Every structure is written in structure tokens, then in C-alpha cells.
A = this chain, B = another copy of it.
Amino acid sequence: MERIRPRTLSGFMELSPARQALFDRMVDSLRRTYSLYGFTALDTPLIESSEILLAKGGGETEKQIYRFTKGDSDLSLRFDLTVPLAKYVAMRAGELTFPFRRFQIGKVYRGERAQRGRFREFYQADIDVIGDGTLDIMNEAEIPSIIYRAFTALGLEGFTIRVNNRKVLNGFFETVGVERPADVMRTIDKLDKIGPEKTAALLESDCGLSAEQAARVMAFIGSTGDKASVLAALDALRGQSATFDEGADELTTLIKYMADFGVPDDHFAIDLTIARGLDYYTGTVYETTMWSHPEIGSICSGGRYDDLAGYYTDRKLPGVGISIGLTRLFYVLDEQGLLNDEVKTAPADALVLPMTDDLSFALRAATALRGEGIRTQVYTEKKKMKARMTYADRLGIPFVVFVGEDEIASGKLAVKNMVSGEQVSLAPDEAAGFIKNALAAGEGARCIKE
């Protein structure tokens, strides 16, 4: 037979079994955190009508999208989880209870140019809170606490959640007389990369600001350091723009309650340079950067928007949401050696090795262990003892349970701890307890180590 060389498409992550186990642990951890904040899970189709997905249309999205026809239908693969959410909420606004809090962890598709660490199929882990007509600022204030718990639960300790408020930016630009605020935002977004001098120059050359206006913008975004000073700097600018004052109030509320939400002071900051490119953000915006690897950029971003589903419904649906690009984060953590190899990724806790022809006793032992929640395999291939032990070794199965003539005669199992080498003789029910205790001791390991 002519054979086809097996391969996986470039830009598509496909993991080894052990790495997959770790990835799934990360997903489970995020699900738990999101659930802890009362978000409900959704799972929308991977395929939608192109008309729905491209309602907003234009730009990079349209070029990158996987679009095709099937019969008479013009179909596309989703490129984010936000548009499907907008569709879902618009369709079901009458039956949903608002504020509607949903999380979704799923694959999205973008046909980007393939390069290292860029994926065409990748997981996003999103939460959004959607209001019906209005949505209280406290929903925005709560988000950093979810980011904080999500990453600490994963094992990441050193990171800063940076917040800003688009009303503060827009209001300030208004008072300075900036005519093209979007251009100015795009420019100050580059501050980190190009430095203050070039930024100031670009503000004049590319954004049409006078030298004086540029200086005021630079002074404004130069307000850094502790949160009290930044808030004081904002307070000094109050009274000139209603939008600015509203944004300053919102930011003050956010900062005020952060400790009550359980976020340590050194894990969040106000960063007036954050604008988040997307047009639709209207209030608080978020970015999250790692202390040890700031070059990775933001690992969790989002913000407040006023109109989720304007393309589908005239019902006003404001919301706030964040997204973690999970596939890329996993890839980067792996590259940096930050995935924790102490997390157990073996497919089983115990391997039963029968050493007699009749397997009844060995199988009953395996059934008993499984009944106690111990993940158990029975190895019945006709191989030499050495090959059987190699099997357990290679998979990292922590306990091997030998069942030979002696065990059948005594009704006890020979349970060997593969790490310590210790071997004990135990009745099946004792064996379950013994293994469970040993497993519990090693269960604390989190996915990320720093």
C-alpha cells in the first residue's frame, strides 16, 4: 500500500500525552476559578454563518478568517469567542438573566502567517459579564480579583495587573484639545517600545499635536508610581471634562475595593498608557504582565464595552470581559521552562501486574481499586517482567501491584512504591487507602513554577 506521511498542520498545537495532561490541568484550574466567581460555562459552535461572524467586517479579521462554502452556505470558523457570545446573547436576551456571567474556554481560528509561537488554532479562555441596559462599575472592579486568582491558582506569583480607564484618556484628550484621540492612543501605546522622546516627536509629527499639547500628554502619561500619587495627579485635573471626572471616579472606585477583593497591593497598578487598541472599549481596560518576562507582553487583557451586540439587536448590552490566550501562554511558559514538572501527568496511579494464568484475583483487585477512585491499569501483555516494569517506569505510574500465586493464596496484594522502591503486602481495601494517602501528599503541585 502506498503510504501517506502522517503530519500535523503547521500552526496547530498537538501535545505529547504528558504535556496534554498539564495543559488540561491548566484548563481545569481556570474553569474552577471562573466558576468560583459565579460564571456559567458556554460552548458555542466552531462554525457560524459568515454573515454573523463578519457582521463587523473589514480589516485583519476578514483576511485571516477560515471561510468556506458547504452546499449553499457561506460558513466561517470563529476567530474569537466574543462575536459568538454577542450572537448568543442577542438571540436569547429574552430568556437570559442579567447581568449574564459566562465563561468559555474554546478553540478559535486565525490563518496567520505561520511562525514560531504563532498559532492558527488556539484556545481562548474568556469571561464576560453582560448587563441589560446598564452594568454597575463594580463588575469592572471585580475583574482584577479574577485575574489574580486565576494566575495564582495556576502557580504564577509574580505579575502585575495594570488598569486604566478610557474615559480618563478620552476626557483628558478633550481638555487638551486633541482632535484625533485614536491616533494619540496608538502612539502612546508604543511608549514602552520606543521611549518618551520618540513618542513625543510622533505625537507632533503623526497626531497633529502642538509642542505644548504633546508636552501635556507626555506629562499626563508620565504619572506613574504608587496608585495614590496617580490618583492625586488625576484629581488635580478634575473639573474640566465630565467624561474625565467620571473615569477618574471609576478608577478610584476600582482602586478602593481592590484589597477587599483580595488582590495584594503589589499585584496591581494604574497605567495611564494602556489604551487597548480595540475601538469598542469604553471604560476600564486591563493588561497583565509577568515580572520575570515582561517581554512576553500582556497575558490577560480586556475591558469594558458599551455595546456588545449592536450588529444583531437594538437592545443595549454593555459588558466587561477579559481573555487569556491559553495556547500561546502554554507555549511561552514551556519555552521559558516555567511549566512545573512536579505535576503528576501519569495516566494511572496504579498498574496491576498479574503473574498467574488465571486473572480473576488480579482483575477483582483492579476493580476494587477503581471503586475507590484509584486510576488503575491492568497489564496483561505477554511480555517479560522487565518489559512490564519498563512500561510502568516510562509512564511514571507511581504504584505497581503484583498479583502472583502467593498473593492469591494469602488474599493480599504486593504493592510497590515505584519512587521509594518500598514494597508492602496489603489486603485490597488497605491497598486502596495506602495508595490514596500517598497520592494525596503529592497533589499540591501547581502548573506553573517560577
Contact = CB atoms under 8 A, between A and B. Distances in A.
Interface of A: 1, 3-9, 12-17, 20-21, 23-24, 35-49, 51-52, 55, 66-71, 73, 75, 86-88, 90-92, 95-97, 99, 101-102, 107, 109, 111, 121, 131, 134-136, 138-139, 142, 145, 149, 257, 260-262, 309-314, 347-348, 351, 359-360, 363-364, 367, 370-371, 373-378, 380-382, 391, 394-395
A87 B4 CA distance: 10
User: Which 4 residue pairs of A and B lie closest in terms of their CB atoms, listed nearest first?
Assistant: A68-B68, A38-B377, A38-B348, A40-B347
Nearest to A348: B38
A6 B312 contact: yes
Nearest to A4: B55
Nearest to A99: B381
Contacts of A99: 381
Contacts of A67: 68
A66 to B, nearest CB: 6
A62 to B, nearest CB: 13
Contacts of A48: 8-9
Contacts of A373: 36
Nearest to A262: B367
Contacts of A395: 97
A355 to B, nearest CB: 14
Q: Which of A7, A14, A17, A376 has the most CB atoms of chain B within a 10 A radius of its CB? A: A17
9 contacts: A4-B51, A6-B86, A9-B75, A13-B45, A39-B347, A99-B381, A131-B381, A136-B380, A138-B378
A359 B312 contact: no
Given A4-B55, A87-B6, A360 B260 contact: yes
A38 B381 contact: no
Contacts of A313: 3, 6
B149 A370 contact: yes
Contact of A257 (B13, B359, B377): B359
A45 B327 CA distance: 12
Contacts of A95: 16
A71 B66 CA distance: 10
Nearest to A396: B97
Given A9-B45, A35-B375, A67-B68, 8 more contacts: A3-B312, A6-B309, A7-B87, A9-B49, A14-B43, A17-B40, A17-B102, A257-B360
